[in-house]
Amino acid sequence: MIKNSYKGVAGNLLFALNIFILVLVIAGDNLVIPVWLQPVGRLHPMILHFPIVLLILAMLMEFFRFRSAFANEKLYDEFTTVLLLSGALLAAITAIMGLFLAREPGYDSNSVQYHKWFGVSIVLISSAIYWVRNASWYKPRIAQSGAFATVCFLMIAGHYGANITHGDNFVLGPVMKNSRQLVPIDQALVYRDVVQPIFETKCISCHNPDKLKGGLMLIDEKSILKGGKSGKLFLPGQPQVSLLLQRIHLPEEEKKHMPPSGKPQLTAAEMNVLYQWIKANADFKKKVTDLPATDSLRIASAIFLKPAQASEEQYDFGAADEKEINKLNNNYRVIYALANGSPALAVNIYNKSTYNTKVLDELNGIKKQVVSIDLNKMPVMDGDLKTIAKFENLRTLNLNFSDITGNTLKDLSSLKYLRSISLAGTKLSAQALDQLKSLKNLKEIVLWDTGLTPQELQAFQNSNKKLSLIEGFKADNKPMKLIPPQVKNTVFVFSKPVQLLVTNPIKGVDIRYTTDGKDPDSIKSALYKPGIMITDNTTFKAKAYKTGWYGSDVVSYTFYKNTFAPDSISLIKPVNERYQADGAKTLTDGELGGMNFGNNKWLGTQTDMELMLYFKNPVKPHTLTLNCLKMIGSQIFLPTEVEVWGGTDMQHLKAIGSLTTAPQKKGDPDILQPLVCKLHETGPITCIKFVAKPIYKLPGWHPAKGKPSWVFVDEVFVN
Tens of pLDDT along 470-487?
654 444 444 567 778 888
DSSP assignment letter at 639: -
Q: Which pLDDT band holds residue 340 (cuts at 50, 70, 90)?
A: low
pLDDT at 541 over 90: yes
Number of Cβ within 10 Å of residue 704's Cβ equals 15
Q: CATH for 486-561?
A: 2.60.40
Sign (positive or negative) of CA dihedral 588, 590, 595, 597: negative
Least confident of 389-393, 438-442, 570-574: 438-442
Over residues 156-173, the mean pLDDT reads 62
pLDDT at 461 over 70: yes
Cβ 170 vs Cβ 163: under 8 Å: yes
| β partners of residue 690 | 611, 644
What pLDDT score does 386 carry?
93
Burial class (CB in 10 A: 0-12, 13-18, 19+), 596: middle
Higher pLDDT, 611 or 553: 611
pLDDT at 546 over 50: yes
Instruction: Tell me the C-alpha distance between 46 and 2, whole Å.
Output: 32
What pLDDT score does 624 carry?
93
What pLDDT score does 35 carry?
57
The one-letter amino acid at 260: P
DSSP assignment letter at 242: -
What pLDDT score does 154 carry?
81
The full 3-state SS of 294-318, as one line of letters, equals: CCHHHHHHHCCCECCCCCCCCCCCC
Question: What is 315-476's CATH number, 3.30.110.30, 3.10.100.10, 3.80.10.10, 3.40.50.300?
Answer: 3.80.10.10
Instruction: Tell me the C-alpha distance between 704 and 429, whole Å.
Output: 65
What pLDDT score does 203 carry?
83
Instruction: Tell me the C-alpha distance between 353 and 333, whole Å.
Output: 12
Cβ 635 vs Cβ 710: under 8 Å: yes
Higher pLDDT, 630 or 302: 630
Which residues have a Cβ under 8 Å from the Cβ of 483 and sit 6 or more positions away? 237, 238, 504, 505, 506, 544, 552
Higher pLDDT, 718 or 429: 718
Over residues 519-547, the mean pLDDT reads 89
To the nearest whole percent, how much of the chain has pLDDT over 90?
22
pLDDT at 366 over 80: yes
pTM here is 0.41
Q: Which pLDDT band holds residue 176 (cuts at 50, 70, 90)?
A: very low
Number of Cβ within 10 Å of residue 199's Cβ equals 16
DSSP character string of 144-209? HHHHHHHHHHHHHHHHHHHHHHH-TTTTTHHHHSPPPPPPBTTT-BHIIIIIHHHHHHHTTTTEET
Q: Which pLDDT band holds residue 401 (cuts at 50, 70, 90)?
A: confident
- Interhelix angle for 49-63 vs 110-132, to 10°? 50
Least confident of 23-37, 327-341, 353-367, 571-585: 23-37
pLDDT at 4 over 60: no
pLDDT at 350 over 90: no
The one-letter amino acid at 325: I
Fold of 568-718: Jelly Rolls (2.60.120)
Higher pLDDT, 484 or 675: 675
Higher pLDDT, 257 or 36: 257
What pLDDT score does 630 carry?
92
Sign (positive or negative) of CA dihedral 491, 494, 496, 497: positive
What pLDDT score does 475 carry?
41
Over residues 389-402, the mean pLDDT reads 90
pLDDT at 695 over 80: yes
Instruction: Tell me the C-alpha distance between 297 and 274, whole Å.
Output: 9
Least confident of 18-22, 354-358, 424-428, 655-659: 18-22
E strands in 370-443: 370-374, 396-398, 420-422
Q: Which pLDDT band holds residue 197 (cuts at 50, 70, 90)?
A: confident
b or e along 674-685 (b: 16 or more beta carbons within 10 Å of the residue's beta carbon)? ebebebebeeeb
What pLDDT score does 40 carry?
65
Instruction: Tell me the C-alpha distance between 175 and 179, whole Å.
Output: 10
Average pLDDT, the chain: 81
What pLDDT score does 716 carry?
95
Over residues 484-500, the mean pLDDT reads 86
pLDDT at 177 over 50: no
What pLDDT score does 596 carry?
77
What pLDDT score does 230 carry?
76
Best CA proximity match to 388, nearest among 417, 367, 403, 404: 367
Over residues 303-312, the mean pLDDT reads 60
Tens of pLDDT along 283-303?
898 888 888 766 778 877 877
E strands in 424-529: 444-446, 468-470, 474-475, 478-479, 486-487, 493-494, 498-499, 502-503, 510-514, 526-527
Domain boundaries, the chain: 6-166, 315-476, 486-561, 568-718
